[in-house]
Structure 1
């Protein structure tokens, strides 16, 4: 099963047991960061052993992977806990159908050492951070972005390195080439770290299939994003394309699929995966819709990106699609001429933002965010109140999930 498929419901699937609490995002981030730093330090030493010139690769990866919100690792971890119980307590009960199934393989058993499971889970979560790093590095190259998290984008850093050391040739070209290669290295290391995690987590076939789906979807979503930027704004499929990009480039891979992957690692059955997907996909969509709003009207001090960056990069987001459907032909011509122009003045960007706001496009997207957030939180409400669901949470776990969902949907960075 992939996350884009509808899993067949298994009426006889047993409830996973009441999940009273979930580990804090801070503690999860600390576990994952520790494993990630250890792994990258190991790889950096290997790069240096190949050649002293390759030291720059390890240095770049160490610095790049230190930042970020660790959203995907947290959600993978919680997906595991929702299906198996508290990792730190060593409660790793698995669905009976999974432990006996040749299709899904054997998940982490109840006898697995709790510390080993924690390490394995942190490694699996860390592998998603490396995949995310690859996506960000390549995305910045594609978008010709100057900054990432308030610092120079990686290709700009290597362009500066070219200048600092007085290398021959074009510095910008060197920066792009180096970043593409380092992004590819992140992809390879992501796979290696995930496979390493399976020593402790049991090597579930379903988890490996879902892992492949995550990788596939984000890459296809990236292509769809590139394609959308060259399609005219008056194209009849502009809104459909925007939702496709939103779902496959971000919503699934950022929220839904990490949850599903964690649950699969714990041995969740098809019905529970369906319940988790019903929570994760709308939340992922709300998360990316908020990102689109911040890309137009976010505070640069909070986002680490220039104001109106999505306009200069030419992003055909749901926000742009909703605006295009509401403005006059003359306004559409102006907006189309400015999208993707990296040399726009701040005043020209501000005029586009005013157009988006005054047309009702921004209000429409805020309404979508409210609806998606409500859809996601209704699912976790049912997990606490409805005894017919496989997934069941207590008040503390419910509060943590609800708070996280709200933070993702209404954040300012």
Structure 2
């Protein structure tokens, strides 16, 4: 079993993922042949492979269970909506990797890296790095367009789609807000826990869990009470998901996570983990964080020293406690939510798996 699937996906969700992947494969395959130009076909293949290779599919899965939890039945329509969220996620990742200067994603070269290397091998004119970044920005924008097309052509009736679009548009705006705050805090230096949690909420929790659940729910005619429960559950789950990501970014096995465990240190990510360490650090520990965190020159030896500080200050234990608290809150909300029993069970299993994932 794939390590990422083993970490997050139960068998029933694995089958759901396969159905979503079938929709993605069919839709993306059709895009490959809309334009006959060989160069366009090549670059379309690059982004198609990126979307289909790896990924947890947590957003489309939560959208699907948001639909089922509100009484929605089986059907291809909701799978297309769910798949739209995965294509939109690809847009976010492609642009995020450019902003962070990341070379790896899901254990493979990032899209801008692939395109830059291809340009260099072809000995074309101009700067290869600039060409790769510019081309990847275009492909990211294309993914956002494709996501809109999948949603619009899902087969659901226009009034329901119009209502759902309010949640979809809000999700997109919130994500941009969170991404900007993330970059802003990196430029300022390590953050306090409060500002870091604001970034977590807008960059991850709403976009990863709350809005996908509500999008599926609205499309199935969810009651205000259920949408409110989806909000509380989704925010708690999404925050726990990102806090686990922060720990994996510092301590995860790159062979499993697919990303170097030193990237967050080099980029100076304003994580809750580092905020807790700064608040609890002794003067010598604070000086070490200031000297090493957010510097491109940091090596594995320096990263090891930072990891020691994160453990010794109790920051790791504090974040683990935050994850556990949010997991308990999510499951408590789910217990009393007016949600279909099958969805309650699936969401409960997803929550438990997300809290303890290794990728």
- Short-chain TM bin: over 0.9
Separation in 2 of the partners of 1:121 and 1:398?
A: 18
SS at match of 2:56: coil
1:32 corresponds to which residue?
20
Whether the aligned pair in 2 keeps the contact of 1:23 and 1:78 (CA below 8 Å) is no
Q: Do residues 80 (structure 1) and 67 (structure 2) align?
A: yes
Separation in 2 of the partners of 1:119 and 1:296?
A: 39
SS at match of 1:203: helix
Whether the aligned pair in 1 keeps the contact of 2:58 and 2:208 (CA below 8 Å) is yes
CA 1:318–1:344 in 2, change beyond 3 Å: closer, same or farther?
same
Separation in 1 of the partners of 2:184 and 2:280?
A: 23
1:114 corresponds to which residue?
none
In structure 2, list runs of 5 or more residues that go unmatched: 1-9
Normalising by structure 1, report the TM-score. 0.81
Match of 2:128 among 150, 163, 171: 171
Q: Do residues 53 (structure 1) and 36 (structure 2) align?
A: no
1:355 corresponds to which residue?
309
SS at match of 1:401: helix
CA drift of 1:23 comes to 9.8
Separation in 2 of the partners of 1:345 and 1:80?
A: 46
Q: Which has the larger radius of gyration?
A: 1
CA drift of 1:149 comes to 0.4
CA 1:78–1:194 in 2, change beyond 3 Å: closer, same or farther?
same
Whether the aligned pair in 2 keeps the contact of 1:120 and 1:200 (CA below 8 Å) is no
CA drift of 1:188 comes to 1.2
Matches within 5 A, 1:272-283: 272-283=226-237
Separation in 2 of the partners of 1:192 and 1:203?
A: 16
Point out the structure with the larger helix share: 2
Separation in 1 of the partners of 2:149 and 2:291?
A: 44
In structure 1, list runs of 5 or more residues that go unmatched: 1-21, 89-117, 384-390
Separation in 1 of the partners of 2:295 and 2:43?
A: 32
Matches within 5 A, 1:1-400: 24-46=12-34, 48-49=35-36, 51-66=37-52, 67-85=54-72, 87-88=73-74, 118-199=75-156, 203-233=160-190, 238-383=192-337, 391-394=338-341, 397-400=343-346
1:408 corresponds to which residue?
354
Normalising by structure 2, report the TM-score. 0.93
Q: Between Structure 1 and Structure 2, how many residues are aligned?
A: 349
